[in-house]
Structures are given as C-alpha cells and as structure tokens.
Amino acid sequence: MKRILILGMSCVCVCLMVAAAFAQGPLTVDIHGPGQRMVNITLLTPKELDGSPLPEAAANALQELVANDLGYIPFLNIVPVTDLLGGDPSQGVKASDIDFKPLQLARVDLCMTTGWNGEYIEARVFETFSGRRVVGKSYRDVSKNLPLVADRFCSSFLEALTGKKGFFDSPIAFVKQEGKTKEVFTVLPQGRGLKRITKLGGYNLSPAWSEDGKRIAFTHIGKTRHELGVYDSESGTIKRMYKGLGSTVISPVYGPNGSLYVALNRNGTTNIFNLKNDYKPGKTLVRSPYIDVSPSFDRTGEKMAFTSARAGNPHIYLLDMKTGQIKRVTTTGRYNTHPCLSPDGRYVAYTHQTSDGHRIFLHDLQTSKEKQLTFGPGNDEYPAFGPDGYFVAFASSRTGEYKLYLSTRHGDKPRMISTGKGAAFAPAWDTSLQR
C-alpha cells in the first residue's frame, strides 16, 4: 500500500512538472534574442473532412512540404507521431478532437492538424497545454499548388508565433555561372521554382528587387559597355539603358518611393546617384574622390548603407537620408564590403576579410556591437537579409564552388539552397510586403 501511494505521488509530481513547464501563458518566440529555446511540434496524421475520402498521396506530400519548410527554422524541432505514447492522439482537426495529454507528456509544445475534403483543406496549429489555436487556414484547389499552400501556411504560422512573416514564399534573385557568361536567376529559399531571368550573354550582375517585388534591376556588362538592366515580371521584358550613365554602372538598388539608386563613374570617380524616372542621373547622394558603391536601404528609406574607400580601404558607412550626415560603421580590418541593411534598419550585414578568408559579419546599429556569423571554410560573401530580417542568405565557396546558403542573424548552421549546376553568388532577397 505504501509503495502504491509513493508511485501515485510520483505520477502526480510528474504531471505537475509537465503542467508547470507548459503553463507559461501563450507560446511566443522572440527571434531578436539569441539562444532561443527549442520548440517541439508534432504534425498529426491528416484526416478526412465531411465524410470525403482522404487523398492520402496529396496529404502525405503536403506534410512532407510543411516538414521541409519548418526544418529551416532553427528553434523548431519536429517530433514524429510515432514518438507519442499510444500513437496519434487525434480523431479530427479541431481542439475538441485531440487528446492533448500524450503530447504534454512528450513535452510537445505545438501540434498541427490537416483535414481534407474534395474541395479544400483546413490546416491548424494548437498549443498542446492550453488547446489554444495558434493559426488556422483554409485553402482551395490545393492539388495543383501543394508547395504554394505549404509555403503560405508556414509563413502564417511563423508570423503568428514570432510576429514576423516567414520567408517561405519570398524568392531570391542571384547570379549564376552559365558557361562563360553570368546570368540572373530567381529561386525560392527551399530550392524550388528555379527561373532564368536574363539571356543576354556577357556578365549580368548585382540583381536588386523593387519594393513591390515586380522588377529586378541589374548591371549588364557587354563587350563594349556597361548598361543598366531592368526586368519587368508582369511583361517579361528587359529594358537596357546606358546613355548618360557614364562608363560604369555598378550595384543598382531600389530605394525610397521606388526610385533607383546606382553607383556611376561619370567624371573619373565612382559615386552613388539617384536616377530619375527616365533613368537619367539625378541627385548625387554621396560624393568623394574615392569609390562609393553598393548602396543598401532599410524599408523606410531613411537609412542607406554603402561601401567607400574614403578612409584608404573599403569600409561600410551609413547615410542619414534626412540630414545627409554620414557615419562610419566599420573600423577594423582592411576590407569590408557588400553591406545589406536589415528591413527594420537595425542591422548591417557585410563581408569582412579575415586572415582565414572572407566572412559574413553583423553590426548592430543600436549597440555598435559586431558579431561574426559565418566561419567558412572557403569564402563567405554577399549577405542578403530576408523580409523578416531574421534569415540571411549569402554565397560561399566552402564546397569549392560558390553556392547560396541560408543562415540567421544569430549565426545558425548554414543550409545550402539548391540552384542546380554552376556557381551561384550575389543573392538579393525579395523583401516586398505584398507577394
């Protein structure tokens, strides 16, 4: 009898410990802070809806796509249903259809349900302690758009959990080696939807998205001259301009009010100009006897980071667009370039040359603290923030050939982005809010 009492008390203590671990209010994640604890999630078995038969192949394919997307999130850990005591604890897709106790005992924080009928699916994520629904969505015509459905649901889920919309449906423009030429391509961060944008020959470099995600500006270097290229996704056409732009056209980028900014050499030195609507040079933003290149704006257009050799070596600087004041950001090393401002304007990611090669560094403009994000091997260059300011794409030669990789601003383990054969570099993320 005494032993039974002790065992009973032990079980109660375990249950209380589990409850205490979960009873901390609604689950949220602060992606600004490093050292985020792991959040466990289980994808429950898909269920039929309204008596319609379950399309098992499509349902399993969607779960695989969702699992792949969630695998990019460093603080998420997927716990298989088979790890739960008694297996799948759900009979349907609503909270009332789920026995949350086995999930709680397995220390699973979240669970996802999907229900199918002949016309649409319903997808939900619940907190396992409170039963609170974190996010719920319904999608139609899913059989033709399974990857898109997975991407959109995961973006909504991440936004509900962190307050920041996910990157899953935000394409990346980049430069890819095609024989002796370099052409502009786009690809989703998961390596899907690879699309060739240019077929111009020569070198097509430095792609940059417009703020609405409908255009891509780039530099075209042909046999006789530099040109500014602008790809229009709606018409599928490319404009090429060179008259009045000078001998070089370097690192175009879209800034405030959708205007184009570009580094031009018009009088023997390279400075950063604003282009007017007719693509002719307008106001000079920064001018010096030295090279000023690689402008990058935050989402508000109030700040512009750029690279300048005005200190004798390439360093990163910050221009206040309202006051015109210029502040030096980097002070160490002899080669700092390729700056990229985070959409919220707090961070500058850039390429820093170390004794072991080029590495990606991060500078916090609020605290002036710097952090090394990548550690090779090979060279790591061309950082590009995603639309949430959390993920960072970059190019690396760590495998012997430049490829694109994905990390976070906390320096989590990089993951390669599949771009097919040929070297890939100079990523530029579509950070538009409307996609």
Which of 3-7, 116-120, 209-213, 406-410 has the lowest average pLDDT? 3-7
pLDDT at residue 11, as a whole number = 42
pLDDT at residue 28, as a whole number = 66
Shared domain for 324 and 391, answered yes or no, is yes
Shared domain for 145 and 259, answered yes or no, is no
pLDDT at residue 245, as a whole number = 94
Which of 34-43, 220-229, 246-255, 345-354 has the lowest average pLDDT? 34-43
Shared domain for 387 and 275, answered yes or no, is yes
Is the pLDDT reported for residue 302 higher than 90?
yes
Shared domain for 212 and 277, answered yes or no, is yes
Considering only residues 281 and 4, tell me which one the structure prediction assigns the higher pLDDT: 281
State both tokens at 375.
């550690």
Is-contact 122 138, C-beta < 8 A?
yes
pLDDT band at 433 (very low <50, low <70, confident <90, very high): low
**Domain assignment of residue 322, yes or no:** yes
Is the pLDDT reported for residue 79 higher than 60?
yes
Q: Which of 108, 130, 162 is the last residue of a domain?
A: 162
DSSP 14: H
Is-contact 31 388, C-beta < 8 A?
yes
Q: Give 340's strand partners.
A: 349
Q: Which of 162, 185, 215 is the last residue of a domain?
A: 162
Considering only residues 34 and 214, tell me which one the structure prediction assigns the higher pLDDT: 214
How many CA atoms lie less than 13 Å away from 54 in the CB half-sphere?
Answer: 15
**Rounded to whole angstroms, how far apart are CA atoms 199 and 222?**
12
Position 3: which residue type? R
Match 């959109």 to its residue by tokens. 152
Average pLDDT for 404-431: 95
pLDDT at residue 31, as a whole number = 64
Is-contact 395 424, C-beta < 8 A?
yes
pLDDT tens per residue, range 4-34? 434 343 443 434 334 444 445 577 666 666 6
Domain that holds residue 291: 172-429
pLDDT tens per residue, range 239-249? 999 999 999 99
pLDDT band at 141 (very low <50, low <70, confident <90, very high): confident
**Rounded to whole angstroms, how far apart are CA atoms 264 and 58?**
52
Q: Residue 7 belongs to what H/E stretch?
A: helix 2-22
pLDDT at residue 38, as a whole number = 87
Match 């090429």 to its residue by tokens. 240
Which of 108-112, 155-159, 202-206 has the lowest average pLDDT? 155-159
- Closest by Cα among 140, 19, 129 to 111: 129
Query: How crowded is residue 420: how many other Cβ atoms within 10 Å of its Cβ?
Result: 10
Domain CATH number, residue 137: 3.40.50.10070
Cα→Cα distances 124→12, 24, 100, 266, Å: 31, 21, 15, 57
Is the whole-model pTM more than 0.85?
A: yes
Shared domain for 240 and 371, answered yes or no, is yes
Cα 410 to its chain centre, rounded Å, is 13
State both tokens at 145.
């758009």
DSSP 79: P
pLDDT at residue 2, as a whole number = 42
**Domain assignment of residue 53, yes or no:** yes
Q: What percent of the chain lies above the pLDDT cut of 70?
A: 91
Is the pLDDT reported for residue 149 higher than 90?
yes
Shared domain for 293 and 151, answered yes or no, is no
pLDDT at residue 142, as a whole number = 83
Shared domain for 190 and 281, answered yes or no, is yes
Average pLDDT, the chain: 90
Shared domain for 292 and 181, answered yes or no, is yes
pLDDT at residue 35, as a whole number = 58
Number of domains within the chain? 2
